[in-house]
Each structure stands twice: as C-alpha cells, then as structure tokens.
Amino acid sequence: MFGGVLIRGVRRGRRIGIVSALLAAGVLFGSPAEAAPPATAATAPPATAAAVPVTPYASLNNLFQNYGNSSGQWSGGDGTQSLKLPDGRVVWFFNDSYYGSVESNGTRRPFAAVMPRNMLVIQNGSTLTSVAGSGSDRTMVPPAAGGDWLWGGDNMLVGGTIYKFYQRFKSQPGGGAFGFYPTGVELVAMPVSTLTNPATFTKVSIPSPICDGSPNQGSRCYLWGTALYSTADHTYIYGTEGVVSGSDPQKYLHIARVPKGQFTAAWEYWTGSGWSSSQAASKRVLNGVAEGFSVTQHGGQYVLLTQGLEGALAGNMIAYHSGTPTGFTATERSVLHMTPETTTDWGDWTYEYRVVPHLSSGSTVVVSYNLNSQYQDGACLGRNYYTASVYRPRFIQFTLPSSPIGGSYIEPTKAPIGSPWTLNPPAYCANSSSPGPAPTAPTATATSGARITFAWTAPTPAGKYSYDVRWRDATAGAAWNEFPLFAPDSTSVPFNALTHGHRYEFQVRAVTWAGNYSSWTSVVSATAFLSRPTNMTAFRWSASECTAQWTDSQPDVLWRVYWRELPSGTLVRANLPTSQKTMTIMLLDPAKRYGISVAAENSHGEGPRSTEATCPTGR
C-alpha cells in the first residue's frame, strides 16, 4: 500500500514518512516506489522467542508469483483480501498495485508501470483474471469528493452483491512526514453478475465517520470497515481511530454493528458497556491495531489477528483473544510470528495480516500478508521495480492458539539486502531538478564489420541507471541522434552497419528514475571500417568457369566479387553481392587468365578489396 512513484519524466510522487506519519495517521507503512528512511531499528523492544510453527502456503504463493510475471496486467499489489463466491470463484482484492508487464529477467520498468490504487483479481481454479478501471492509472473504484484515492477494508457477500468498505485518503500539499491523511469511509456495492465491469459498481450511503479530515497534530478519523465479522444476528464492523500525535503510534480499535448484512440500517456503536446510536459514544477498545486486520472465531473465542505496533515496520503478527466480539484487551494476546522476509534494517517489511476464510477451518488458518520494500539505489530506483517478486502477497498456514499464549516482541533476523540497495538514497532523488551523477571514462572502439562499441563507466553511487546516448556521423556532418537506453545493467551500446571510413562521435548522460539528468560526457570518436577478406584463392571449375573462395569473419556483411582479364583488362563488378564466401564466374575465355578479388559490403557501401587471386587458363 501507499503510492508515490518516481518515473522518468512521466509522473512523480511524494516522499512518505514511514513510521510517525503512517502509524499516527491511522494507516500503515510506506510506498512501493520510494519511502523516507525509517526510525532506527534500535528502538525496537528486546527479542524474545515466542511464536507458533508456520509453513508457507506454496500453491497460492506460486499462483500469484507466476501470474504476476506473465499476466501483463496485475503484477503485484498489497491490501490482500479474499472472498469465495458460491460458484467457486475467489475474488482477491488489492490496494496499490502495479499494472503492466514484467520483463523476462523479473524486472518492472518504472516508466511502463501504472499504479491502480485499488483493483481485483478473480480466481477460477488455476486461472486468474485482472479487473481494473479504465482511467489512466487503472484504478477500479475512484473516491468521492474530498479524497484522492481509496484503499480497501473488509468485504461481505449479501445475496448477489459484494459490499466492500473503502477508506478514503487525500494527499497533503508539500508532502513531508505526513504525505497523506484519511478523510472518510465509503461502501461500494459490486454485483457479482457484473464483477468484471467496474462501471456497474455503486456507492452505498452509510453514516459518515467522525473524521477531522486534517493532517494536523491532534486530528483523528474513524476508519470503519477494516474488518467484519457476522454472528447469527449482527454484522460487527471493526474500525480504527488514528490520532496524529508526533512520533507516538496511537491506533485504537472501535466497534460498530448492524443487523446482519444490513449496512444501510441504523448503526450502533460499542460504548464499553453497551450499544449507542451515537458514534460520538464509541469507546476506544484497544490501542495497538494496524490498518489491516481480521476477526475470526476459534474454540469459542473471538480472535483479532493484526500487526503489532511494537517494532514499527518490523511489527510481529499478533492475535488478541476475547470471549465476545467486543471484549478485546491488551493483556489477552499471543505473539505469533515474525516474517522471514523482514530485514533487520526494515528495508523489506511485511504488513496487513488477514485470514483467508475459504482456506481456513477450525484451528488451522491460512493468512495472507504483504511484502514491501523501501530500498532504493543510487539511481533512485526502488527494489520493488527491479525485483518484481518482492511486492506481492505471501501466504502461510499455522494452527491458531485457542487461548492466549503471551510472548514478547520477536526481532527480524534477515540481513539487509546490501549494495546497491540503501535506505538513505542520495539527496538528488528528492528533487528532479537537481543534476544526477555522470558516467565517466567514455570510449569508442571500432571493430571489423563497420562496428563501433561505445562504452562508459557507470556513475557512483552504484545503481540501476538508465542513460541517454547520442551519436552522429561526423564525417558526413550529420546532426546528433539521441535515444534512451533502458537497460539498468548495461554500460555499452554497439553501433552496427556503419559507413566504412566515416568517423562517428558519441556522448552519454545518466538519468535516475527520479528524473535527474547528469551532464553529458566528453565527446569520443572512432572511425568505422570494413576489413579486407583474406585467403583469396581461385581455380578453374570448368574450361569457361572460375571459382573464387575467401575467408572473412566480419558480421553483417555481404561480399562483392570483381574480376578482370590479366594482365591489364578492365575490372568487372558483379551485379549482385553474395552471402556465401565463394562465387563461380561463368562464360570466361578458356584461353585467358583472370584476376579475381572481393570486397565486404553493408548497406552503406563497400570496404577495400582483397588481394587478387589468379585463375589459370582452362586449357
């Protein structure tokens, strides 16, 4: 979740303060493309080993990895939630997603990916189908006035309609630590019969949440619909209240209810001792929930599964236990898991732990969570782009404790990814008008076949830079030609089929993925050439035919054969070149000797002729 992408000259995003802004604003964690450095990991509580055994749920992990690599549409997302339909299909809801192709090397091209703020994928057996909007960023459900985008809460099937809660956010001018803030909640009705057509979705009127709609200190917003749980009579609507209060995370659980599945009926709010029709009477039940969690039931207990706030980005998966839908307390909890993907510096981190209902039964639950990365390199490229497999859901399976098992914070153990990835990208990444670092040591090297390889040394700091390359035929007085090179690991370009004897000039500049252009390197040049074919031989094939043969390893050339009567006849040029390193000349005078030579040629002309081979008389 949490957008803001840096794309070369196309669109730019804002930097988001990872810990203080997002936790206090009642939302959780980071930008797929870039993020501000986190608070130091040294602030995390001491580690204590307390967890349940967890195994990866391989079939779903593989399904979404394969689909993301091959679909050309959804290639990754967060906010993962699922809903199984009566016909057996499964709807997978996602928030911020990458939409576009993944290269064969597993890389997303930033300039080619758009980011829907919400979309869905329909699973039918092993087949997945993307459903997105038709706008430029492919967002499926746009926000009402007063917001810039919607991120999904929980969902429920009622009859033939899916009711999906969305939480509305708005970007803050100037960005800074508080790059966005919540402004409300929306409920969307999605007919199952037209689920692939977002134009048929409609907004449903529900009570407006208490929400200051402001990023200012002390402001608050109730984000209803984060999780839903239905009993025989009621649907419980769980929400969060995020309070902006400096760097201190304050995330409170609130609970409302309606008659089962009737979201347009009168809402009641939990006061701590009963129910009230006044939202203002809603009581803070628990401090320490994330913006994405689940409520389920096991062994006669209600279980709220969430990410803990301890450890900030490296929060543990925690379960709170209660005998009633409203009785969750900080003391009745179980520390369940620290994900293996989370790095000790929080460069890669996970969030939004949610139960997958249709795959969970009894005490055995399947849980989805999301992996994100805030690593960038010296070229301002996010790891989520360079390694597409990162920003995709993960699935695990474990046995849910039927009662609290306690436990303390479990620290991550995965080492930081290492160079070129860093949590402290260069300052120019935050300002596209600042110049970026330039390549060095440009060279132009000519090789046979009228080829020139233009090469350079990548800039420092290390990163996956793209480049602008320009070149021209200086001998012909041609203007500069310029083209972008989107090949992050390349520091050379071959130029082929050039004109023999012409001098070519070259320059390069680096471009970061934040749009910073370096200065051009100095001009270097080389002269293209075609080599002479060698080992020329000739012999009489018949009395009136001579066959010539030669050696030439130059690429991308043809050969033009010449012959003349010896000792001083007029030179004859073959009408057509040959692609073979041999040619037979016919209708020759058997009484005469002939000198035969050959020249390599390309689309721009010929090179020098070989030495002449003598074909003897045919008598």
Dump the DSSP string for 140-153. Answer: SS---TT-SEEEEE
Chain Cα centroid distance, residue 20:
25
Residue 391 counted as domain residue: yes
Residue 357's pLDDT is 96
Residue 402 has pLDDT above 70, yes or no: yes
Strands (E), 357-447: 364-373, 393-399, 440-447
State the CATH number of the domain containing residue 605: 2.60.40.10
Distance CA 495, CA 70 (A): 32
Residue 288's pLDDT is 87
Strands (E), 571-610: 572-573, 582-585, 594-602, 605-609
Residue 449 counted as domain residue: yes
Of 375, 393, 425, which residue is a domain's last? 425
Residue 55 has pLDDT above 60, yes or no: yes
Of 386, 404, 425, which residue is a domain's last? 425
User: Is 391 in the same domain as 262?
Assistant: yes
Residue 33's pLDDT is 34
Residue 19's pLDDT is 32
User: Is 343 in the same domain as 243?
Assistant: yes
Residue 5 counted as domain residue: no
- The neighbour count for residue 283, using CB atoms within 10 Å, is 15
Residue 298's pLDDT is 87
What are 231-264's pLDDT values in tens digits?
999 999 999 998 766 555 578 999 999 999 999 9
CA-closest candidate to residue 240, choices 460, 470, 24, 528:
24
Q: Please list, in sequence order, all residues whose beta carbon lies within 8 angstroms of the beta carbon of residue 262, skipping any fewer than 6 positions away.
A: 235
Local confidence band at 604 (pLDDT 50, 70, 90 cut-offs): very high
Residue 295 has pLDDT above 60, yes or no: yes
Tokens at 210, concatenated: 């208490």
Exposure on the CB side of residue 341, measured as CA atoms within 13 A: 19
User: Is 313 in the same domain as 442?
Assistant: no
User: Is 178 in the same domain as 324?
Assistant: yes
State the CATH number of the domain containing residue 92: 2.115.10.20
User: DSSP 3-state assignment of 182?
Assistant: strand
Distance CA 152, CA 80 (A): 9
> Do strands 275-276 and 301-307 pair parallel, antiparallel, or not at all (unpaired)?
unpaired
pLDDT higher for 8 or 170? 170
User: Is 305 in the same domain as 272?
Assistant: yes
Residue 247's pLDDT is 56
CA-closest candidate to residue 290, choices 267, 321, 313:
313
Tokens at 153, concatenated: 């809460």
Strands (E), 38-126: 54-56, 74-77, 81-84, 90-94, 97-99, 119-124
- The neighbour count for residue 445, using CB atoms within 10 Å, is 13
208 vs 118, 149, 187, 205, CA distance in Å?
Answer: 21, 17, 11, 9
Q: How many domains does one find in the chain? A: 3
User: Is 355 in the same domain as 498?
Assistant: no
Residue 46 has pLDDT above 60, yes or no: no
Residue 15 counted as domain residue: no
User: Is 166 in the same domain as 253?
Assistant: yes
Residue 518's pLDDT is 97
What are 335-382's pLDDT values in tens digits?
999 999 999 999 999 999 999 999 999 889 999 999 999 999 999 999
User: Is 487 in the same domain as 604?
Assistant: no
Name the residue range of residue 584's domain.
Answer: 534-615
Mean pLDDT of 474-501: 94
Of 527, 553, 587, which residue is a domain's last? 527
User: Is 365 in the same domain as 474?
Assistant: no
What are 261-277's pLDDT values in tens digits?
999 999 999 999 999 99
Element (H, E) at 65: helix 58-70
Residue 7 has pLDDT above 70, yes or no: no
H helices, E strands: number in the chain = 3, 39
Continuous H helices in 423-490: none
Mean pLDDT (the chain) is 89
Residue 584 has pLDDT above 70, yes or no: yes
Local confidence band at 4 (pLDDT 50, 70, 90 cut-offs): very low
Residue 9 counted as domain residue: no
Give DSSP secondary structure letters for 190-219: EEGGGTT-GGG-EEE--PPPPB----STT-
User: Is 417 in the same domain as 436?
Assistant: no
Residue 130 counted as domain residue: yes
Give DSSP secondary structure letters for 315-345: PPEEEEEESSTT---SSSEEEEE--TT-BTT
Percent of the chain's residues with pLDDT above 70: 89
Mean pLDDT of 200-227: 90
Distance CA 242, CA 222 (A): 7
Residue 179's pLDDT is 73
User: Is 448 in the same domain as 484?
Assistant: yes
Contact in structure between 604 and 504 (CB atoms under 8 Å): no
Q: Please list, in sequence order, all residues whose beta carbon lies within 8 angstroms of the beta carbon of residue 143, skipping any fewer than 6 positions away.
A: 149, 150, 166, 168, 169, 186
Tokens at 219, concatenated: 């402001």
Residue 253 counted as domain residue: yes
User: Is 275 in the same domain as 295?
Assistant: yes
pLDDT higher for 34 or 458? 458
Distance CA 466, CA 487 (A): 6
Residue 407, amino acid: G
Residue 6 counted as domain residue: no
